[in-house]
Amino acid sequence: MTQRRGKICTQLVTGANKGIGFAIVRGLCKQFDGDVILTARDEDRGMRAVKDLMKEGLNPLFHKLDISNQTSIQTLKAFLHKHYGGLDVLVNNAAIGSSLFANQAVKTLQVNFWGTLAVYNQLFPLLRPRARVVTLSSRASTWTYCRCSDVIKDRIRNPNITMEQLKELIREFEESAHSDTLEEKGWVKFAYGVSKIGVRLMSYIQGRDMTKETKKADILVNACCPGFVNTDMNDHKGTKTIDEGAETPLYLALLPSDVKSPKGEFIEEKNVTQWPN
Ligand SMILES: NC(=O)c1ccc[n+]([C@@H]2O[C@H](COP(=O)([O-])OP(=O)(O)OC[C@H]3O[C@@H](n4cnc5c(N)ncnc54)[C@H](OP(=O)(O)O)[C@@H]3O)[C@@H](O)[C@H]2O)c1
């Protein structure tokens, strides 16, 4: 772990040792006046990324974070609480790639959905007034939604969906994957896509419910798709550079303090996108 520099504003990106997360840290370091914390599940890979950015004249800090490990999240929370007392920007970027196979489904959901939710739940109390939370979903969420049964689509599109109902939806997918009954139950065999539906809805619920809490009402929570980006996740088939992929997440992370929207939305190329009818 590198030493904090005592600045008040704090921004944190998960899964930032490479790919889009790395480029988001680069963008924050260039545009943000405060401490930017690059997190990674592997300390060596994380420190290497920090050193690469230092060669560019940037100064991110490092903290280890495995989003699928509660102790790791709690350790980070304690660090943030002790040294900063709050958090101004949280970018939920960490995720693992897709798999069609049932035995991979639980692992994919464990990191991409349950891990992201655990980070949010732990760090939520630290969010300062006017904080910004950005979660990397994907256009794959729309693709997957379009292939689900009408019953599941209605549950996804329910504007009043609660976090408990969302968790139930994801658990049902996991159980159907385990019993090899996904298609019968109206799902598509695409755990990554379902995980990205999950985080998109998670962000919607968090953004919507934030409005109800007076002290947190000006916090903006949004999900986004970075586009099709050239990274390890897609074997470098993506057409955008990582810096181009970081543009929409950075736009959401750096929304000015006086704006009230977007909030609880899904953003592609800086535009709000709804679930198709
Ligand atoms: N690339 C695209 O075209 C695209 C499109 C739509 C959405 N996205 C989303 O954008 C985000 C970044 O993707 P990317 O393409 O940059 O992928 P990537 O290059 O594979 O990077 C993923 C990052 O997540 C980290 N990670 C994985 N599991 C983790 C865990 N348990 N705890 C902490 N970190 C973990 C990885 O760390 P390790 O190096 O240790 O594995 C890595 O740093 C993801 O949420 C992805 O779903 C990407």
Residue 238 in domain:
yes
Which of 12, 13, 18 to probe ligand 1 with, by most ligand atoms within 8 A of CB?
Answer: 18
**How far apart (Å, rounded) are the C-alpha atoms in residues 134 and 91?**
5
Average pLDDT over residues 216-223: 93
What is the pLDDT, as a whole number, of residue 2?
Answer: 47
Task: Print burial letters for 190-225: b (CB count within 10 Å at least 16), e (below 16).
Answer: bbbbbbbbbbbbbbbbbbeebeeeeebebbbbbbbb
Active-site residue, 192 included = yes
Q: Tell me, what CATH number does 261's domain have? A: 3.40.50.720
Residue 264 corresponds to which amino acid?
G
Q: How far is CA 267 from CA 36, 47, 204, in A?
A: 23, 31, 11
Give yes or no for residue 75 having a pLDDT over 70.
yes
For the chain, give me the number of helices (H) and strands (E)?
Answer: 11, 8
Catalytic hit among 120, 192, 204, 251: 192
| Ligand 1 atom 8: residue of nearest CA | 138
**How sure is the predictor about 100, in pLDDT bands with cuts at 50, 70 and 90?**
low
Residue 267 in domain:
yes
Where do runs of H (alpha helix) occur along 97-246? 102-109, 116-123, 140-146, 150-157, 163-178, 191-210, 242-245
Measured in Å, residue 20 CA sits from the centre of ligand 1 at 7
Residue 146 in domain:
no
Q: Which of 28, 48, 52 is nearest to 40 (CA)?
A: 48
Structure-token pair, residue 259:
């704006």
- The count of structural domains within the chain is 1
